[in-house]
Every structure is written in C-alpha cells, then in structure tokens.
Structure 1
Amino acid sequence: MSGGRPGLALALRFALREMRGGLSGFYIFLACIALGVAAIGGVNSVAQSIGEGIATQGQSILGGDMRFELNQREASPEEHAFLAGEGRLAQSASMRSMVRLPDGSDQSLVEVKAVDDAYPLFGKLETAPAMPHGALFGAKNGVYGAATSQGLLDRLNLKLGDRVALGQATFELRSIINSEPDMLSDGFGFAPRFMVSLDGLRASGLIQPGSLVEHVYKLALPAGTTEAGIKAIEAQAQQKFPQAGWSIRTRSNAAPALSANIERFSQFLTLVGLTALIVGGVGVANAVRAYLDGKRGVIATFKSLGAPANFVLLTYLIQIFIIALIGIAIGLVLAIAAPYAAAAGLSSLLPVADAGGIYPGALAMAAIFGVVTTLAFAILPLGRARDIPATALFREQGFDQRGWPRAVYVIVAAGLILLLAGLAIHFAYDRMIATIFIVSTVFAFLILRAVATGVQWLARRAPRVRSTALRLAIGNIHRPGALTSSVILSLGLGLTLLVALALIDGNLRRQISESIPEHAPNFFFVDIQSAEVDNFKKLLQQEAPDGKIVSAPMLRGRIVALNGTDVTKLTIPPQGAWVLRGDRGITYAQNIPENSTLTGGQWWPKDYSGEPLVSFSEKEAKELGLKLGDTVTVNVLGRNVTARIANFRQVQWESLAINFVMVFSPNTFAGAPHAWLATLTEPSATPEREAQVLRAVTQGFPAVTSVRVKDAIDVANNLVSQLATAIRAAAAVALGASVLVLGGALAAGNRARIHDAVVLKTLGATRRTLIKAFSLEYLMLGLATAVFALFAGGVAGWYVVARVMQLQAQFLPDVALSTVVIALVLTVGFGLLGTWRVLGHKAASVLRNP
C-alpha cells in the first residue's frame, strides 16, 4: 500500500477476501433485513396482485362494462331507452327484507337480489343444482323460485324444495348459490343472499314509494369498446340526464370500496413491516458492532501498515453492503412468492391475479427500504471503527462503548433516517397516518434510549445489597459493554406495537359486545310506509308496552356538489371521503334529533318556509372542509336539491340510535315520497320477547325490514375477529424481528460474558450463583421493557380509540399481564439459553487468550 493511496478496487478485494470465512456473526443481520424486506415487498405485491385481478376481471366483478345505479326509483323510459341503445342491458334490484316461514313461526333478514333474464352479462352464476334461469326463478302455480345461500337454510332449518314468504309472495327454494360473479361490486352484505326474479320481487309488493331499493342497470358494450369510448358514454349520460342522480361505475373501477380497503390495509401492513425493518436496524447495528469488535486486530494491522482511516471504513462498508444485499435478495424472493401464495389461498375470496406475478414497483420499494435501513444503522459503528487508533485497538478488547463518532457520521445517519421517513410517507396511501406513525416510532426510539440510560443510572446508584447474585446482576446492567440498551431497544418497539394493537382490538371488541348493546336499541325497522307508520307504532306499543319507540322519515340521497362544485372535481381527505361515496340516508326534522347536540349555528324555527336548510354532523363537516353558510347539493329521487348549512351537530354515532349526517328543514322535501325508519329500545327484553316482537312485526307488516341489533353486532364481531387475526399476524412479524434482534444482542455479548463468568468461577463463584445473577439481570431488563411497552402502547392505543375512533378507551389488565409475561419469557429464556453456553467454557483457554 506504499505505492499510493489505496482505492475502491483494493478495498473491494480486501473485503471479498475477508468474507471467505463465511457469514458467521451476520445471520441475525441477514434475518432482520430479509424479514422486513419480505414483509414490505410481500404485502405490496399481494395488494398490487389484487388490484391487477380487479382490473383484469373488471367485467365479471362489475357484471358489465358499465354499471348505472339508482336509489328508490327505476329508470325513466327515456333513461332506459338511452341505456338499451348502447349495448346489451341487464337490470337488477337489491334491498334488505324479511323472509319468513309460511306458518310465521320464524323469520330471517336477507339480502334480496332480483335479476332479469339477461343476468349475468359476464361470469357465471353457479348454483347447486345448476338450473337455467326460467327453471330457477320462474313461477309454477303462482309460486316463484329462489336461489339462496346455505346460511339461510341453516338459520331457518330449511332444505331445498321448502317454501318461504317474502312480502306478499311465496317462493320455493330451488338451489343453493355457490358463486355470484358480481358479488364484490355489490358491496358488503351482513345477511344471507336471497336471489329471485324481478317479476317475483314485484309480486312481493316490497317495492313501494320511498322503499330503500337499489335499481342497477348493467351494460355489455360492443366488442372493442375502449376506455375512451366508455368515458364518452358516461359523459353523454351525465349531459343528457343531469339530474338522474345515478352512480356510474365502469369495468376499470369495478369495486372501488374493495380497492380502497385493500390499499388502506396494505398501508397499515407496510408500516408494520417497516417497524420490523427498523427494529431489525437495531440488530444490524449490534451485528456490525460485534463484527468490527471481532476484527479489531485486523483493523489495527491495517492502520499500523499505513492504511488511511477512510480505507478501513470503505472496506467494511463494502462488506456490510454486500451482506445487506444478500439479506435483501432473500427477502425479495419471499416477497415474490407472496402473490403466488395469495393466489392459491385467496382466489375464492378475492380477485387475486390467477398467475401470481412479479411486481417490480413493490419489490423496488422494499429493496430501497432495506438498503437505507442498513446504511442508517451501520454508519455509526463504522464511524467509531474508523476513528479508533491502532494502539487502542491492540490494547483494548473493543470499541463499541466509545461514545459518539465524528459529527459527519451522525449527520449522515440522521439524513438516512430522514430519507427512510420521507420514503415511508411518500409511498403511503394516507400520508397523515404515515407521518404520525413515523414520528411516534422515532419518539419511541428516543424514549427507549432514555429508558435504557435511566435503568443504568438507577443500577449505578443502587444501594449495596447482601445477595451476591443480585449484586452481580445490578452490576451487569450498568457495566461497560452491558446489554441493557440492546435488550430494551430490541424488544421495546415490538412489544409496544403489540400492546397498542391488542388494546385497540380489545377496546373495539368491548365497545361492540358490551358498551354499544347497553345503549343501543333492540331493533331497527326500515321501509315503514307513511300510510302505515301510525298503525306500526300501535303494534309495537302492544307488543312492547315498556319499550321506547323513536321514528324518523328517511330518504336516500347522494351528495353531488359542495358550494356548487362537482364532488368528483374536489380533493377530499381520505377520512371524509366516505360521506361522498355512494348514497347516504337523509331525513328532515322540525326539532333537534335525540343524541345530537348543537355546536354551531341556529336551528330553524317551526313552520320554516324559506330556502332549504341543512344541519350537518360537525366531525364530517370538518373533514370535508365545510363551514356555516356553505351549500350542499344532494340528488334525491332524480332531483338535485341545494341546501345551505344552518348549523352543526355533534352526533353520538356509538349509541346506534337514529342518526344522520344530514338533517334537512321539513320544507326541503315537501311532497316527496318516502318511507320511515323506527327503533325499539327495551333493555329488559329477553330473547324470547324479542322473537315475539319480531314475529308480530313480520306477520303484521311483511314489507317492513326488521334488523335485530344483536345479530348485526355478532356480524361486526366476526368481522373484527378476522381483521384482528390478520393484524396480530402482522404484529407478530415485528415481534419476530424483536426476538431476532434480542437473540443477536445476547449472542454479541457472549464473548464478554464468557470472560466475566470464567473470572468469577476462578474466584469461587458457583454455577448456581452465576445463573441466578444472570436470571435476575434479564428479569429486571424484561420488567423495564414491559413497563415502557405498557405505557407507550397504552398511550398509542388510547389515542387511536379515543381520538381517531371517538370511542371510550379503557385499559385492559389481561393485555398488561400478557405483555409482561411475553417480555419476561423472551428476555429470561433467551438470556439463560445463552448463559448456559457461557458457563460451559473451560477457564484455561479463556484466560490464556483474553
């Protein structure tokens, strides 16, 4: 090296030569990087695979090339003629109603779907037994046919061939639905499917003025119609019928709600994967420190022979970068396999691309995260190695506790961490949530570092105790090279995430299964005709004299403009977009509704007859950027109605009482046909009493849809359980990374532990004393980590439940206990496994080679 300053080529040659001995000491490094990259790349690859599946199967999912939906009314003759002139047309209608046994002894809520002879335009309706349309749905001796899901047969203890009543008509159950091609485009349903013909639905008498019926018209356009041609038809439909109020979807946007939910969920899992990668970064730092500590003789030799400090830095940076690339490659292979696994496991539930596929964008994003994370966490120990003089390396056992390296390395590390945060926010679906997540993670790391320092400070100032084992344990916590920081950092973030998710899940379940039922009504009754609402109330009063009955008129309307601007041209934050997505229930009232509090503006006077006014829910108004005096245009029954915001209300959604985002002044919908919504609340009612009320309503008013709130809560609980399983699996990835890092930290400290154990044994310490000392050390570190995780995870869980979900948050002792147990099992268990190996070393070999 005397012929000139060594360059990159020589550094690369030395780096490759040193790596001939294999990757010993870097297996944790590889596992941490591979796990984080696999999580990020796999989640996003699966999300893109589902998106591709939705795009390629758009016609089947949508049931056509275009879908026109109208609420509470059928298309006018002019509208129908326009649609029929563009291609093959299929018409269907959907609503919720009650199916009952012929003797009236039992009944069930169902999702009714009525179809015509053209259904389905694309895909195939698969039933068992398979039957042609006429045989499946046609009338025989005045009895129409129906296909239903197995759930209805199980619920009412029925079999094929049995008859049930829907409204005023009788239907024979002729087949079981195995696959419904356009199910995903229809949205989530929480009751069994009941499919009939349009003629059968009309015969039932359920379609009345104001009934909550969705009329859908699906078009199969001529072959070769391009996306531009579809957009032209959509523009023409809006131009010819500006107040039709129909919601239009195309094959390229077949299931927008599903796509949005997949994107949100993939963002959440990506952030969890990023947490695993960041936790793995601690493992990277530990591995790099331990590796360089083992290379102290080589580094000292380099420097003694005149190698510049930058050459040493470059040599080991190349090695670490190569090892990182190996870990990233392993993670990418796992990520590539994820869509294929999803195609095999989810194809019956979601439109995953059949052949799996490789998604370069998702893989590139994961690889970038892996590279940046590695460099961000490796640069500080590399900086320390660069600046240690050869004499110190020969003289001392290591250099990992020499404090901060030069400012340039700290700046570079900080810059890389900022880059990592910026990338996470840039790729996020909801950047506000991503920002909060990143800031919280950085804050948690700083606090964890402070906790570790605080634990060492307390150990250093602890009073002298008589117990030799306890005295050794306390000393191990604060001695040079102690594992305190590594253990607390490695486990702290993973446990914090687990606690936060467990508290959110637990509070949500408690709210659904305990708190909500205490205040929620027993029943919701929908589609009560205006002419029957008084008699309906009388029936409820007879059947439940102690019950509280609340009723309100109800229409369906879709917000089409805010302050005169088409909502499709507005940029709306994700948290408020749901208000504009599809149709909303709306009402009118003279007085402020129950469960609402006026927070701004004035309520209209009785007998108000001026311009249409609307009261808007305060939270949703803020999310949409609305203020008092703004205008909202709603399409109701094919007519655009513009109303000015007169006041804001705080709405208690969690009560499950009758609540609406928008309440209009009564003059707004004077003369408009509509139905009524009612609730019955009777806290002391037994299941038998509820069944009696349900039978009476179904027999007396067969067109009224009855929803038992407890049944809806059970469905919600099942959905939350499924989501919780996926979320806990994702959190386990982060905890798995924590365990890997913990194992790596303990392994990295084994060399110093071996020397200490041998010296202590030479001085007379027994194996039992040493095991007890190490156990107490790990026990105290585990408790410190658990306390932090409970506090930080509790704060995070409270924020999400109380501030984001607007629910009552409660601390759950079982979550706290399980967290403490997990922390202690991991720290003590892994610690003792490593310690057992340490205690088995012979004294002579260690003392000869310190």
Structure 2
Amino acid sequence: MSVAETTEAVAAPARPDIVGGRSHFRLALRFALREMRGGLSGFYIFLACITLGVAAIGAVNSVATMMTSGIAQEGRAILGGDLRFALVQREATAEEMAYFNELGDVAEAASLRSMVRLPDGTDQSLAEVKAIDGAYPLFGTLETTPAAPLGDLLAERDGRFGALAASELYDRLGLEPGQTIRLGDSDIELRGVIDREPDVLSDGFNFAPRLMIAGAALDATGLIQPGSLVEYDYKVRLTGNNRDAEALSKAANERFPQSGFQIRTAAEAAPSLQRNIERFSQFLTLVGLTALIVGGVGVANAVNAYLDSKRAVIATFKSLGAGGSFVVMVYLIQIMLLATVGIALGLVLAAIAPFVTARFLESVIPVAASASIYPVALLTAAVFGALTALAFALLPLGRTRDVAATALFREAGATGGYRMRWAYLGSALGLALVIALLALAMAGDRRVALIFLGGTAAAFVILRAVAIGIEWLASRAPRVRSTPLRLAIGNIHRPGALTGSVVLSLGLGLTLLVTLATIDYDLRREIGTGLASRAPNFFFVDIQSSEIDGFRQTVGELAPGAELNAVPMLRGRITALDGQDVATMEPPEEGGWVLRGDRGLTYSPTVPENSSLTEGEWWPEDYEGEPLVSFAAEEGRELGLSIGDTLTVNVLGRDITARIASFRAVEWETLAINFIMVYSPNTFAGAPHAWLATLSVPQDAGVSEEAILNRVTNAYPAVTSVRVKDALDAINGLIAQLALAIRVAAAVALVASVLVLAGALAAGNRGRVHDAVVLKTLGATRKVLIRAFTTEYLLLGLATGIFAIGAGAAAAWFVVDQIMQLPFVFDWTVALTTLGVSLVLTVGIGLAGTWRVLGQKAAPVLRNL
C-alpha cells in the first residue's frame, strides 16, 4: 500500500468510525488486507520459522500418539491376554491355577535365558527361551516361516522336540531350518523362523534372539533347577461375567496376598515402552519448542524489518490523525494473518508425519502403527505457534506505537532507540509465561521440563549478555591501521549493529548441537571402551549350589589367574515400604524403577565388594536376630527410606519383612556384582537359590573368551553365560537409534537458528545500504567493503562459536557427570566442527545478503537521507 493510497483512504470524508469499538477493528482489518496485496515479501523467513516450529511439535506429538494408540488398541495381543500373572522362580500352585481357570481361558509360558549349542559343542549362543503350551497365543497371531500349525512345529518327532527361532539365532550359529541344536540336556530340531511374535513387547528388552519351544521340551532339557531364574506367565482371556480386568486384578491380590503376583492388564501391556515413548516425545517436544522460540527471534526480526520498510506509511497514518493503537492493530492483524498461514503449513507437515513414519516404526517396534490425523496434537502445536508469534511480534510493535510521525519521516529506522510501553513488554512476558506453563502441563516429568525451559530462558539472557560483552570489547579495542579491520570492529559496536541478532540467532542452536553431540560421544565412549575396560568379561547365571565348587575348579583350570566372584542370588519383588503397600503409593520419578517388577537379592555376612557403608552398621558374621537388610544409598534416598524402616519383599511366594540396618554407596558403573538389597544370611536360611558369578580374565591369560565360553557351556549346559561385550553391543545399538532421533531434533533447532540468522542479516541490510553508499562516496572500494564485512562476520561467527562450545560443554558436563554420573570427556572434533559451521554460516549468509547491498547506486539512496 503506497503513501498516496494511504493518504487518500485516511483523508476520505465520512470516516467517523476510525475511532472506537467494532468499527475501529473493521477499518483496521480493511487497511491490513489492502496493504497485504503487495505479497509476502520480507515475510518468507517469518513463515519458515513458524512453520518449522509448529511442524516439529505437531509431528512429534502426532507420532507419539500414533504409537501409544497402537499399543492401546492392540493391548490384549501385546500382553497375550486380558490379564497376565507373572511369577519368578516358582510355578503357580494348584489353588492359584484353579483361580486362573475360573476367570477364563489360560495360556501358560515360561521364559528364561539359556545357552544354545551346536550338537558337536563347537559353537554356542545366548538365547531368550520361551516355552509355551497349546493355548498360545490367546490373542494375536504368531507369524512363522513355514506357515504351519504351531503344535506341529513344536511337537516331538522321533525323540526330538521342535523349535522356532528368530532369524538372528540362525545367523549367529550359521544354521538353517531342519538342523539340530542342543539346549540343556536335549537335542532340539529347528523347524521354522519367527517372523512376528505378538506379545514380544510385553516381555521387555531382550538381549538375545528368541527360541520358542513347547513346555514339555523345557522339562526335558533339565534347565529348571531349584532357584533357577525363570519367569512363569499365566495369560488369561476373560470369559463369562469376568469382564472388569482392573477389579479382578485387585481381587486376585486380596485373595492371594502373599503370592507375589505381578499382575498387568491390557491397559498396561508394555509399560516400559510406553514410558519411553512418553519421555522421548517430551524431550523432542521441548526441543521443538526451543526451535519455535528460536524462530520467535526470527519473527521479531522480520516484523522489525517489515515495520522499518513501512515507516513512511506509518508516518502518514499518524500525520492524518490515526492513533498509535490503530497503527498497532493494523500491523498486528497482518502479522497474525501471516502467522496463521505459517501455522497452517506446519500443521499440514505435522499431519503427514504419522503416515510417513508408520512403516519405518513398524520395522523397529512390532506394533501395527495405524496412521491417522490427531487433532489434540495438532491443536497443541497450533496454540504454541500462535502464542509464540504474538509474543515476539508485540516487542517491535510496542516500540512503533509511540514513535512520532516526524521521527518516522526523518530517520532511517522507524523504531530504533525508542522504548516501548510497559503494557506491551508485560504482555510479551505474560505470553512467554503461558507458553512455559503449557509446556509444563504437557510434560510427564515436570522436573526435566522445568530444567529445560529454565535453561532455554537462561541461554537467552546469557546470549544477550555475551552480545553486550562483545560490543563492549569492540568499543574498547585499540585503533588499528587496517581499514577493513577498523570498519569491521566499528560495525560490531555501532548503534543498530548486528551483533545481538547474530549471537542470539546462532548461539542457541549451536549450543544445543554441541551439548547433544558431546553427550552422544561420551555415552558411546563409556559403553564402547570405558565400561568394557572396567567390566568383567562374563556373567554366569543359574549356577546350582551343588555345582558351585566344581564350577570354580573348572574355571580355575581353564583360565589361571582369572578372577571369579560368585554370590548367592534370589529374585523378589518389593511389596511394602515401612508397612505401606507399594500398590497404593505414588512412586517418585527417580527411584520408582526399584518398585517396578522383581529385583535381584543376595545375602552376605560382610560388606560386598564395590560398595561401602554410608550410614548404619553391618551385622556380625554370626548374626541370628531379626532379618536385616542393607539398601543402596542413592535409591534409598530417592524412595525416602531411613535407618530402622521396614522393607517387605515377596520371594518364592512368601512375604519377608526385614529392617533397614544400613545404606551403601554402590559402584554401579563397574558392572561388577551389585544389588539394591543385601540381606543378613539368616533371612533366607533354607530357601532354594542359585549363584551368580562374574569372571574377569587378564589379557595375558593365554585363553580366548570363545574358548572359555565353549568349555563352560559344554561342561555346565544349565548355566547361562553372558559375554559382557555382547550385552554392550546390544546397548550400543539402542543408543545409536536414540542418537539418530536426537540428531534430527538438534538439526531442527539448528535450521531454525540459520533461518533466524538469515532474517537478522536481511533485516540489517537497509542500514548496510546507507553505510555502503556513504563509504563508497568517501572513496571506499568494493574490495575494501567486502573485506570489512567478511572480517565482521568472521569475528561474530568466531565469538558465537566459542561461546557455543563453552556453553555446550558445560551443559553436557552437567548431564553426563551430575545426572548420568559417567566420566566426562570433551570431544574436540565437536568443537572444531561447531566453530567451522559457525564461521561458514555467518560469513556465507552475511556475504550473500551483503553482495546485493554493494551494488546499490549512490544517488537514489543519498536523496532519501
């Protein structure tokens, strides 16, 4: 809209409705729409920032909703029934089985880890063994190759039972269907490949490939011994009037108070996976929100540049009697209309995301991802986008409101140097607070969300302080002889300098990138080399008490000089803390994992290795009093436990209550034998149990891990041997998948930063035109100006990159050292890469925008000064 059109429109007669009420808004809307006929020039970066942030938040929440909805819809197939009763180290009694059968159809399964060997004993592999009955599966379909009846595939033929295995097991042992393996004391024929197991998610994380056999085959292997680490699952399909799974779950605990059941319903089919999805989506949502807030800076820059280009129109409005509020309304309408376009584009991308990712997610997580449009997720993203656009638009609009018309006509900048009213600043801060409160309300872990948002707010303040510091240093720099360098230093601290915009735009994205890259590096380094160097070579599980002496002797002969540590082990589930049923408690976020599922237990007359007393006293070696327990100090603090409190665990169907006698600092990072709970020896007198052992082999022992594994597996087929290297490789695979998603999230934040940087530099081009023309008039050549601008951008990029490296390293140290409690090592490759990216972006984008400025003719510009 030209100045002439504005003058004609405002000066037209019969305009008493220019003030007040609904007519006031209608007139502002008319002017806003008329002025937008000129197109979206100057607002493309504005749209990109809003679109990117809204798309990130909407896509993450839509995909998370798709996954959780898929788990909920297939809850019974994932769980394997309407109800699932789990027992550790014991089978259900006759009375308990009768109760299960009263509820409906029952499918029994037993799960354990064991070694699978070639018949000649030359090779072996750890496997997750699952023994099922004829009723399996009650829900869902077990997909196999060949697609034959399950009973036929697992039946006994010619004295051998059949088995199904995951393709990974065939690959590890170099086998094909039809060949034979040895499990325990039995030869078993592999008859097919498991393509899809309906209830695999409910079994938790698996370290080894699946081997599925019949229950009768498990009995024949001889693997089940007193104290063997076996989980028995009883999955029930409710029939008759038994429909309320939650009520039946409570009734079962009341009827069998000491059973030790871990009961789950279809509503919590895969609780661990659901928690991980919620936590990860929360993290990605916060990263997306950070990208949106960074984009908000781009919104402010774009609005500021747009208002600067409209200074003559605004001056005309005010000269003809329009008030400041009317001018603000006109441009606020334009900005929010454009924000609506950006939000709509972002919502389209977010709505597409589930359809794009569904197939990929199904290959990673065996859940049917039925893609759809998720209104709540999209509405959440739209609200965040609208609030962010409004909050950051109010800042430049507030400065424009009270600028006099004469100043607008005379000054090169429409709003520079003028303060806004407190109402606008307060409104912007209020909207920022609303955004933070919404993010906290959505967060499952409000502590993490609060830290994240607090860190983001602090980063804005610190980055602003860094920019001020850079300007201060530049203003106090000694005079240099080089003209380009002198001009560059002057540009850094002069009024209207780009320093604040560049540091704020790029600093936050680069800091986040350094933080995530360093955390990823330290995790991989610790698991790949650090833990591997400190951890034992092997874990041996389910060593029978009658075999422990022979086992020690065999290992001693096989690997002289190796260190073997063995302790008794049982499994139990905490049922009460200081007399309060844990089922009625709201577990804390940090220590709540201790109360979920069963935990390993041991007893010892002395303080175990790799731990030290922090509070309380240890019992005498010949202690015979009431049962006592020593609890891990950190986990005890998180659960609010104190010396003298009582702790009840269910072991082998019995509730055992012990008094807390001490707390111990446990060195979990060594991966040596450690337990949350260590009991006085008299607590489990007479209870059947097995032994757990670790073996650390020196490098000069003269024997390979493969030879040790082969000898032990053949000599003790019922003992489960876990090579630590294989376990760490499995964990590394998980970290790699998480790292990919984290890098994508960091890339989104970095892209937002680049967009904002481009917008900030574009917004400063108007001032650069005047600078370049004046300097060229005074004799400066294009070469001198290019060198000056290049030097300026290099200095700004260098300062921003150095800050990002320092701030990112500090943030990564806090996460790695203080939260994860792992050794912190900074990767200087990350530092150099960050510095390079910063310099390339600032210089590249800066010169790309400045090149057009250098070609401006002097006369047209000088006439408007």
Question: What TM-score, normalized by structure 2, do the two folds share?
Answer: 0.96
Query: What code does the residue aligned with 2:66 have?
Result: S
Letter in 2 for 1:26: F
Separation in 1, partners of 2:586, 2:109: 32
- Cross-structure match for 2:543: 528
Deviation at 1:224, TM superposition (A): 8.3
Match of 1:98 in 2: 115
- Listed as ranges, the matches of 1:269-308 within 5 Å are 269-308=284-323
Counterpart Cα distance in 2 of 1:225 and 1:272? 45
Change (3 A) 1:719 1:349: closer
Secondary structure of 1:574's partner? coil
CA distance, structure 1, for counterparts of residue 802 and residue 589 of structure 2: 35
Partner of 1:752: 767
Q: Deviations over 1:799-820 (max 9, x none)?
A: 1111111111122111111111
Q: What does residue 631 of structure 1 align with? A: 646
- Choose which of 273, 280, 284 in structure 2 pairs with 1:265: 280
1:48 pairs with 2:65? yes
Give the deviation of 1:687 after TM superposition: 9.6
Q: Which residue of 2 aligns with 1:70?
A: 87
Alignment partner for residue 591 of structure 1, among 574, 598, 606?
A: 606
Give the Cα–Cα distance (whole angstroms) in 2 for the partners of residues 598 and 135 of structure 1.
Answer: 57
Q: 1:334 to 1:656 in 2, by over 3 A?
A: same
State the distance in 2 between where 1:111 and 1:314 align: 67
Aligned to 1:316: 331
**What is the SS of the residue equivalent to 2:738?**
helix
Does residue 1:809 correspond to 2:824, yes or no?
Answer: yes
Q: 1:687 to 1:720 in 2, by over 3 A?
A: farther
Q: Name the structure 2 match of 1:787.
A: 802
- Residue type matched to 1:471 in 2? R
Query: How do residues 325-404 of structure 1 correspond to structure 2 at under 5 angstroms?
Result: 325-350=340-365, 354-402=369-417, 404=419
**Counterpart in 2 of 1:177?**
194
Identity over the aligned pairs, expressed in percent?
63
Deviations 1:210-257 (A, max 9, x none): 11101111111227864xx21232122112211111111111111111
TM-score normalized by structure 1? 0.98
**More divergent stretch after superposition (216-225 vs 589-598):** 216-225
What is aligned with 2:7?
A: none
Deviation by residue 1:394-453 (Cα, 9 ceiling, x = unmatched): 110114431542222222222222221111111111000111111111111001001111
1:543 is the counterpart of 2:564: no
1-structure distance, mates of 2:843, 2:702: 50
User: Do structure 1's residue 21 and structure 2's residue 38 form an aligned pair?
Assistant: yes
Shift of 1:685: 5.5
Q: CA RMSD in A?
A: 1.5
Structure 1, 20-29 or 484-493: larger mean CA deviation? 20-29
Distance 1:618 1:502 in 2: 32
- Residues 61-119 of structure 1 deviation map (CA, whole Å, 9 limit, x = unaligned): 11111111111111111111111221111111111110111111111111111111111
Change (3 A) 1:76 1:588: same
1:468-547 map, 5 Å: 468-547=483-562
* 2:685 counterpart of 1:666: no
Mean Cα displacement is larger for which, 721-730 or 310-319?
A: 310-319
Q: 1:11 aligns with which of 28, 44, 50?
A: 28
2:218 counterpart of 1:201: yes
Write the distance in 1 (CA, Å) between the matches of 2:603 and 2:759.
Answer: 65
Q: Equivalent residue of 1:357, what SS? A: coil
CA distance in 1 between partners of 2:464 and 2:247 (Å): 60
Q: Find the counterpart in structure 1 of residue 626 from structure 2.
A: 611
SS of 2:42's equivalent in the other structure is coil
Q: Which amino acid aligns with 2:122?
A: S
Contact 2:278 2:444 survives alignment (8 Å): yes
CA distance in 1, matches of 2:84, 2:566: 34
**Residue from 571, 578, 581 that aligns with 1:566:** 581
Residues 769/224 of structure 1: CA separation in 2 closer, same or farther (3 Å cut): farther
Alignment partner of 1:247 out of 255, 262, 285: 262
SS across alignment from 1:231: helix
What is the rounded CA distance, in whole Å, between the counterparts of 1:401 and 1:665 in structure 2? 75
User: Is the CA contact (8 Å cut-off) linking 1:494 and 1:738 kept in structure 2?
Assistant: yes
- Please list the CA deviations of residues 526-552 of structure 1 after superposition, one character each: whole Å capped at 9, or x if unmatched: 000011111111111111111111111
Alignment-mate amino acid for residue 229 of structure 2: L
Segments of structure 2 that go 5 or more residues without pairing to the other structure are 1-9
TM-superposed deviation, 1:632? 1.4
Q: Paired residue for 1:696, among 695, 706, 711?
A: 711
Tell me which residue corresponds to 2:6.
Answer: none
Matched, 1:110 2:123: no
Quick one: distance in 2 between partners of 1:348 and 1:592? Answer: 47
In 2: Cα distance, 1:469 partner to 1:244 partner: 82
Amino acid at match of 1:292: L
1:440 and 2:473 matched: no
Preserved CA contact (<8 Å) 1:69 1:247? yes
Q: Which runs of 4+ in 1 moved over 6 A?
A: none
Cα distance in 1 for residues equivalent to 2:615 and 2:343: 55
1:575 aligned counterpart, secondary structure: coil
**Structure 1 unaligned runs (5+)?**
none
SS in 1 for 2:831: helix
Q: Contact between 1:496 and 1:790, CA under 8 Å: does it hold in 2?
A: yes
Decide whether the 8 Å contact of 1:245 with 1:637 is kept in 2.
yes
CA contact (8 A) 1:66 1:219 kept: yes
Cα separation, 2, equivalents of 1:787 and 1:579: 42
When structure 1 is superposed on structure 2, of 399-408 and 639-648 the one drifting more is 399-408
Aligned partners of 1:779 and 1:827 also within 8 Å: yes
Q: Distance between the aligned counterparts of 1:685 and 1:500, measured in 2?
A: 39
Per the alignment, residue 5 of structure 2 pairs with: none
The 2-side partners of 1:685 and 1:155 are apart by 28
1:136-178 deviations in Å (ceiling 9; x for gaps): 1111222111111111111111122111111111111111111
Deviation at 1:688, TM superposition (A): 5.6
Give matches, 1:442-461, under 5 Å: 442-461=457-476
1:815-834 alignment, distance < 5 Å: 815-834=830-849
CA deviation digits over 1:750-789, x for unaligned, max 9? 2222222233233332222222211111111111111111
Alignment correspondent of 1:126:
143
Partner of 1:622: 637
* Alpha-carbon distance in structure 2 between the residues aligned to 1:643 and 1:736: 56
Change (3 A) 1:451 1:554: same
Which region of structure 1 is more displaced relative to structure 2, 732-741 or 563-572?
Answer: 563-572
> Separation in 1 of the partners of 2:316 and 2:167?
76
Give the match for residue 271 of structure 2.
256
